[in-house]
Amino acid sequence: MTSAAASRYRDRWTWERSTFATHCLNCLATCPYRVYSRDGQVLFEEPAAVFEQVQEGVPDLNPMACQKGSAWSVQLGSPDRLLYPMRRKGERGSGEWERISWDEALTEVADALIEAIDFEGPESIVFEETVEGGLLAQAAYLRFAGLLGATTLDANGLINDFPAGHHITFGKFSCASSVDDTFHSELILIWHSNPAYTSIPYAHFITEGRYHGSKVVCIAPDYSPSALIADTFVPIRPATDAALALAMCQVIIEEGLFDREFVQSQTDLPLLVHRESGRFLRGPELWAGERDDQFYWFDEATGAIDAAPRGSLALEGSQPALDGTFEATAHDGTELQLTTVWELLRARLAAYTPEAAGEVCGINPEVIRSLALDVASKRTKIIEGFNTPKYYHGDLMERAMCLLLGLTGNWGRPGTGIQGLALAGLDGYMLFGMKQKRGVAETIRVMEGVEAAIEGLRTLDPEASDEILGYELLQRGVAAGTASPPAFFHFYHCGYKDTWNTEAWSGPGMTRSFEEYVSDATRRGWWGGLVKPGPSTDPQVLFIVATNPVRRQRGGSDTLLQNLWPRLEKVVVVENRMSATALQADILLPAAMQYERPNLQYAITHSFHVGFSEQACPPAGEARTEWEIFKALSQKVQERAIESGTTEYLDGRRQQRRLDTLGEAFTAQGAYDKEETVLDEWLRDSIEAGTLPEGATLARLRERGTARFSGLGMFAPGLSLASTIEPDQTVTAFQWHAEDGVPFPTLTRRAQFLIDHPWFIEADEALPCHKENPSIGGEYPLFVTSGHSRWTVHAVSMGNRILSDTHRGEPLGILGSSDAEARGISDGELVRVSNDRGSYTIRVRVSPRVRPGQFIVYNGWEPHMFPSWKGSNEVEPGMVKWLHLVSRYGHLRYLPFGWQPVPADRGVYVEVSKA
């Protein structure tokens, strides 16, 4: 090598500045990286490995990283970057654009917003919510939308990472321990998930746990990449996981292997129910004026029916009966015939002997028995991920998994629990929306206001825990907010009514059409104030910020483009790249990417550390950060509103709003002009609220790249982890419940396996059960499973040329060898995938690891990567389970990111043939 060439090579890696950054949050890791730059250009990045060991004897988190993060900088200069504001010239989607100035773009958008407010009201301005751009991006559009009184579609209702079964059981969905807690497990069940692909930064804890002596079992239909790191692979017929879990429960109960005290104290299984109706015995039945949410058990210690404590799970000498039938006299003299939930459960489980369930699941009964014995005798953790919620009956699968853990004492102790989602309480972010001005005095004022409100609620229910009251408070806040479960928007405005009314694709437990259930639920006021825009309000402006609905929309891209798009006056997309959705915009506003802006990543607690990004380089072209975009848009709306005289209006709740001060309101009179000021404020406020340790300021994050959370804070999403964070211990969710007896935020204050709501009873889903996956898409022989691919999570890294070089670079479906042979399909051929919903074409890989009758299509491919620009969502109707329309039943009520109807995209049936 010549000296000049060597110098060029060396110069390539010579950097001037090193900053910390993280990337997408899609796998929930928010990995800290060091980003090296020179002359305002990012040269490369590398995993930072800044985590200190938390607990002696437990491996540290380092290095949290994956190939996507390590190649992130390639995307900064990707050919599909959006560099300038653009206006559509031709038809929507034609790809014809004209470059315009920021002022022109903002003026056009501002005028459209003012018009929308004038014509249809602010709720006709709809934001597709996202978590992709990080907290600052989210804060920007939520602040803007909140000031307008617009509609924000709940992200979890769009992407369906909502584990409904967790919520039904525990009253919350944030149940995951820190990822290093896996090391404490004696039995790790990789169940319905594929962490070897989807959790690359922290899947190593499974392997390390295995070295440590834990047994790893992978339960999946196919011999998945995660089966490679398991001791035992249990192949299961797709979507029969509930049957497997219930069979294990049956063995554990009948063999007497259950943890009696845990069942008695933690679950609703000892509670009394009416023998005939299967409904709970409630307070007003025994005592006039008693609380409706007072439940009862038969205490063998006293030989009498007693009120089950609502304020504590501790038994305190009680011995609630599990078995038996009981009689009581109602206050009106009626004789009541009672039994326990436990008895109902045993009766239900009689249908789930290993032999019977084995027939359903395709698993040898002895394997089921053996697994059950293991779960009963070992500290067991289920690594679940977000695959299960995407099945129509995913809630039943999760409820059955939770039951298995509940019977065996497997939550609240190190190495136990179910690993899905966990939201940390970055309370500074929560407080931000409530503060009128910046500064600690205002923070304390708000915090004390929150505490006063909680204490006010406590007077209504003195036995409620802080967590329960936090949810109560959040519930009240939601009523005044902009959030809306998107299922209603899709139903009324996006053409899903006919799809969801398709009986053949729905659950057999329905006695009416989906539409009738919707009417019933809304008529009863279960979703009062949350159906936005209402059926009679035409959506006017759609704002899409850092998300890609045209790619992922269940039902295919045409569903939105044919039903919603024609009704919209303006489609505004804030994006950093020309995504499938950006292509369909009227106005494109180019956004900065990670590395080009300061940010905190969404507060996910898998690592229990804050994800932090410092700006390493300026945004490409004329791109701006979301904060800058919405700040400028606020100012422009203010300016145009004053010019047009539209300065005041009433929002959907008849609250007065002002446009002539919008710009000042957005920045709180200039206090939040700079993004770093906002981040600094969030961090300092989080310290005040106790979620971050003292000193975890922006300056400290710049030095160290991350900071470990020190507490769960004061708000419900964080508190739901229910665990004290010790500086030298891994974090185990539900410790407060299991060790301290703090009640669950459910109707019964216990992990609740009986849902005695009439709709659940009607559907025979009051208790967990297995139901066959509906024939979604029609009667076809192949069952589609999916998940994140190895190379990208969603479409974020799909255009990365380095990553594209590491795989075939185009969409891929994986078909079992026997199915391919039967259809005369060879590896590498293009095939047509079709069902009654639609069709698309994809190249196929033939693999013996896929079970007969299964077809795997990992998701994240952009439509343009498919022939005819039709992707795998073309065959996904996106069916919504009707029972999730239930609300105002104890804990089954809407909460942001939580309980709501969500679309299923897995488990559709298709046929595959040569294209």
Partner 1 sequence: MFVYSLAGLKVDGGALQEMELEDNEITARLGVYQALARLASLPDADVHHSAVAGEWGAQLTEAGHLLPFEFDFGTASVDAGVTPEELQAEYIRVFEVGVNGGPPAPLYGGLYAGDRMQRLEEVVRFYEYFGLSTSAEDPRPADHLATELEFMKYLCFKEAVSPSPRLQASYRRAQHDFLERQLTWLPKLVEGTEGGNTWPYLRWVAGTISGFVEADARYVAGVVAA
Give the footprint of partner 1 on this chain (CB under 8 A): 438-441, 443-444, 447-448, 671, 676-677, 680-681, 684, 687-688, 694-695, 697-700, 702
CA–CA dist 747, 744 (Å, integer): 9
Q: What minimum distance in Å lies between the beta carbon of 686 and partner 1?
A: 12
Q: What minimum distance in Å lies between the beta carbon of 439 and partner 1?
A: 5
Q: What minimum distance in Å lies between the beta carbon of 675 and partner 1?
A: 12
Tell me which residue of 821, 212, 188, 714 sits closest to 430, measured CA to CA.
714
Query: Between 653 and 702, whose beta carbon lies closer to partner 1?
Result: 702
- Cβ neighbour number for residue 79 with a 10 Å cutoff: 8
Give the DSSP letter string of 842-861: EEEEEETTSPTTEEE--B--
CA–CA dist 147, 129 (Å, integer): 16
Pairing verdict, β 151-153 and 187-191: unpaired
Tell me which residue of 47, 51, 133 sits closest to 579, measured CA to CA.
133
Query: Between 404 and 616, whose beta carbon lies closer to partner 1?
Result: 616
Query: Between 447 and 589, whose beta carbon lies closer to partner 1?
Result: 447
Q: What minimum distance in Å lies between the beta carbon of 684 and partner 1?
A: 5
Q: What minimum distance in Å lies between the beta carbon of 474 and partner 1?
A: 21
CA–CA dist 59, 203 (Å, integer): 12
Query: Between 480 and 699, whose beta carbon lies closer to partner 1?
Result: 699
Could you identify the residue written with the tokens 């090598």?
Answer: 1
Q: What minimum distance in Å lies between the beta carbon of 614 and partner 1?
A: 11
Q: What minimum distance in Å lies between the beta carbon of 232 and partner 1?
A: 49
CA–CA dist 47, 705 (Å, integer): 11
Element (H, E) at 665: helix 662-666
Give the three-state DSSP class for 575. Answer: strand
Q: What minimum distance in Å lies between the beta carbon of 690 and partner 1?
A: 10
Query: Between 5 and 441, whose beta carbon lies closer to partner 1?
Result: 441
Q: What is the DSSP letter of 751?
A: B
Q: What minimum distance in Å lies between the beta carbon of 512 and partner 1?
A: 53
Sign, CA dihedral 14-20-25-28, equals positive
Q: Which amino acid appears at position 252 of this protein? A: I
Tell me the backbone φ, ψ of residue 745, rounded to 5 degrees: -85, 50
Query: Between 403 and 692, whose beta carbon lies closer to partner 1?
Result: 692
Q: Which amino acid appears at position 84 of this protein? A: Y
Q: Are 785 and 302 in contact (CB under 8 A)?
A: no
CA–CA dist 904, 383 (Å, integer): 20
254 alpha-carbon distance from chain centroid: 35
CA quadruple 118, 122, 124, 125: dihedral, nearest 10: 110
Query: Between 232 and 677, whose beta carbon lies closer to partner 1?
Result: 677
How many angstroms separate the Cα of 268 from the Cα of each of 48, 617, 755?
46, 55, 10
Tell me which residue of 245, 47, 1, 27 sits closest to 131, measured CA to CA.
27
Cis peptide before 533 (omega within 30 of 0): yes
Q: What minimum distance in Å lies between the beta carbon of 19 and partner 1?
A: 11
Q: What minimum distance in Å lies between the beta carbon of 677 and partner 1?
A: 7
Q: Which two tokens stand for residue 55?
A: 């607990």
Contacts of 435 (CB under 8 A, 6+ apart): 442, 443, 446, 668
Contacts of 497 (CB under 8 A, 6+ apart): 491, 515
Query: Between 184 and 631, whose beta carbon lies closer to partner 1?
Result: 631
Query: Between 347 and 444, whose beta carbon lies closer to partner 1?
Result: 444
161 alpha-carbon distance from chain centroid: 3
Q: Which two tokens stand for residue 195?
A: 């962490």
Q: Are 134 and 601 in contact (CB under 8 A)?
A: yes
Tell me which residue of 856, 812, 774, 796 sits closest to 159, measured CA to CA.
796
Exposed, middle or buried by CB within 10 Å (0-12, 13-18, 19+), for 492? buried
Q: What minimum distance in Å lies between the beta carbon of 722 and partner 1?
A: 23
Q: What minimum distance in Å lies between the beta carbon of 700 and partner 1?
A: 8
Q: How far apart are the first and last CA of the chain?
A: 50
CA–CA dist 704, 700 (Å, integer): 6
CA–CA dist 261, 441 (Å, integer): 47
Q: Which two tokens stand for residue 259?
A: 């943890």
CA–CA dist 380, 195 (Å, integer): 17
Q: What minimum distance in Å lies between the beta carbon of 572 and partner 1?
A: 32
Query: Between 376 and 430, whose beta carbon lies closer to partner 1?
Result: 430
Q: What minimum distance in Å lies between the beta carbon of 695 and partner 1?
A: 6
Q: Are 450 and 708 in contact (CB under 8 A)?
A: no
Q: Are 403 and 250 in contact (CB under 8 A)?
A: no
Query: Between 438 and 552, whose beta carbon lies closer to partner 1?
Result: 438
Query: Between 196 and 447, whose beta carbon lies closer to partner 1?
Result: 447
Query: Between 688 and 905, whose beta carbon lies closer to partner 1?
Result: 688
In total, the chain counts a number of residues equal to 915
Q: Which two tokens stand for residue 239?
A: 């979507």
Query: Between 642 and 671, whose beta carbon lies closer to partner 1?
Result: 671
Could you identify the residue written with the tokens 């059409």?
Answer: 513
Query: Between 683 and 833, whose beta carbon lies closer to partner 1?
Result: 683
Query: Between 629 and 687, whose beta carbon lies closer to partner 1?
Result: 687
Q: What minimum distance in Å lies between the beta carbon of 718 and partner 1?
A: 18
Tell me which residue of 701, 626, 135, 685 sits closest to 437, measured CA to CA.
685
Tell me the backbone φ, ψ of residue 676, rounded to 5 degrees: -65, -30
Query: Between 472 and 614, whose beta carbon lies closer to partner 1?
Result: 614
Q: What minimum distance in Å lies between the beta carbon of 862 and partner 1?
A: 40
Q: What minimum distance in Å lies between the beta carbon of 895 and partner 1?
A: 27
Query: Between 402 and 701, whose beta carbon lies closer to partner 1?
Result: 701
